[in-house]
Structure 1
């Protein structure tokens, strides 16, 4: 009985009660988090209100009357090239994600499972490439486009943008996927090879199903990139018909003739829809990828 009584006097966890300094620190942490949340949520709230406020004119009025209306969305669809911008962005985003996934899955697998000459040097090069901003090579991009388009006349500036996004994402994502694959035991590879699997079958049947969560994250990052980037599309794409969403919507706030800030807010709100859909689709892969691939048979 004495032993049980002594155990009952122990805390349920190893954590000691907070001291006065600990309580003050916890309070300050909550205050910082609340301020940070307010700084993020307040602009989003204003964007949603402005997008549906029929009382808004061409300029945003944060402290005005509110009348629920879809007129800013109607302006966006009827008076601008918004649908064309959406189609351009989705095409670029999907193509970029597919190209990045195909190349990164092979390069990540190769760096993780093979030992070859120049492996460490190339990995260091990949790390150093990440320190160079994409915009720094704008002159080289124009030169490359001129050379390729002279050989392939149908090569458009949008395709050049896809190559830039894919090429820029391959280096960092290869390093990330390589680190993830390094955590997967090579005993699975050996067991599959004993059963007669080739290296390609090991890659396709063993490694890729296990790596599906990381591949889903890479796909999501690659898909979001073209939606968020403004600078490169604005420089490389010369006609409004070829603009992406970021470049197209910016014409609603930087041009006096097409100025419509509430429509810009409505467009920004709708921009999140494809990203949310993509996240919902890939969320299933994040869960299912953890339970498949490592079971033999």
Structure 2
């Protein structure tokens, strides 16, 4: 019995090392939020928390309006994620279960947009929002993220594996397409939707370049844009406030992942358990 245990030590050591490399920077971030600026870059770094967390959060709130920018980010990310899930579900269902002229061409065009860098679309998107009069508004941040090609592709691939007999049985019972979608498709696709919701929320929450371009008023700033305003030169950047805001920005994503953790893991493993 000893030999198998000895053989497992290298793997255990490797996993412990990888875990340490992953958790170490995050732990340093958490402890750095509790220190003064001149203590953050001490070498060797202290592993114990300091006593300046309250001061850092107070400066952060006074400079960017912490609750306001958190509310802006939660509103934009929440509405955009919910809308993108609805669009992805409807479009994926249409591509997977309906036969119509031009379906293959449309789906190919959709996939082709995956190779287009986001930066290429900034100028046309800015021009479009200017013509619509939507700059410096929540609509300018939310609308461009409602159609996510990757999300539609993932839903289409997942729904393609759903047996048509299951949908036909619901239709025979008198259910319309929306009823079939809500009562049959959504419960079966719940793990995929949960996994997709986490990815969409993460992308929307961390979005920086487009909100920086589209927003003019500080009152409309999301958290990443507001934190960027705290950067100055090397002598004027408020690192305590910046690191405190960075640590706070991880909380909504951690809470969402904990809520959807079981469904998220099921969604990631769904393809591996088939066949």
Q: Considering the TM-score relative to the shorter chain, is it more than 0.5?
A: yes
- Structure 1 equivalent of residue 71 of structure 2: 87
Say yes or no: does 1:96 pair with 2:76. Answer: no
Matched residue, 1:164? 144
Distance 1:288 1:180, change over 3 A: closer
**1-side partners of 2:39 and 2:233: how far apart?**
12
Query: Please, which of 123, 132, 138 is the counterpart of residue 116 of structure 2?
Result: 132
Residues 129-149 of structure 1 show CA distances to partners (whole Å, capped at 9, x for unaligned) of 011122211111121012111
Task: Describe the superposition over 1:80-109 as per-residue Cα deviations: whole angstroms up to 9, x where unpaired.
Answer: 322221111111101101211221111111
Alignment of 1:135-284 (within 5 A): 135-149=119-133, 156-167=136-147, 169=148, 171-254=149-232, 259-283=237-261
The alignment's TM-score, normalised by the length of structure 2, stands at 0.82
**Alignment partner, residue 21 of structure 2:** 39
Post-superposition offset of 1:34: 4.8
CA distance in 2, matches of 1:243, 1:58: 28
What are the ranges of 5 or more consecutive residues in structure 1 without an aligned counterpart?
1-16, 290-297
Q: Is the Cα–Cα contact under 8 Å of residues 72 and 262 in structure 1 kept in the other structure?
A: yes
Deviation at 1:32, TM superposition (A): 5.8
C-alpha RMSD of matched pairs (Å): 2.9
Q: In the alignment, which residue of structure 1 is the partner of 2:97? A: 113
Q: 1:143 to 1:240 in 2, by over 3 A?
A: same
Cα distance in 2, alignment partners of residues 39 and 261 from structure 1:
23
- 1:69-88: CA deviation from partner (whole Å, max 9, x where unpaired): 32111221234322221111
How far off its partner does 1:236 sit?
Answer: 2.0
The alpha-carbon deviation at position 258 of structure 1 amounts to 6.1
Moved over 6 A (4+): none
1:204-258, Cα deviation, whole Å (9 max, x unpaired): 2111111111112222222222221222222222232222111111222335796
CA shift for structure 1 position 174: 0.8
Residue matched to 1:67: 50
Asked whether the equivalents of residues 195 and 263 of structure 2 are also in contact (C-alpha less than 8 Å), the reply is: no
Structure 2 unaligned regions, length at least 5: 268-275
TM-score (norm: length of structure 1): 0.77
For structure 1, which segment, 42-51 or 278-287, has the greater mean C-alpha deviation from structure 2 after superposition? 278-287
Structure number with greater Rg is 1
Q: Any conservation in 2 of the 1:59–1:260 contact (CA below 8 Å)?
A: no
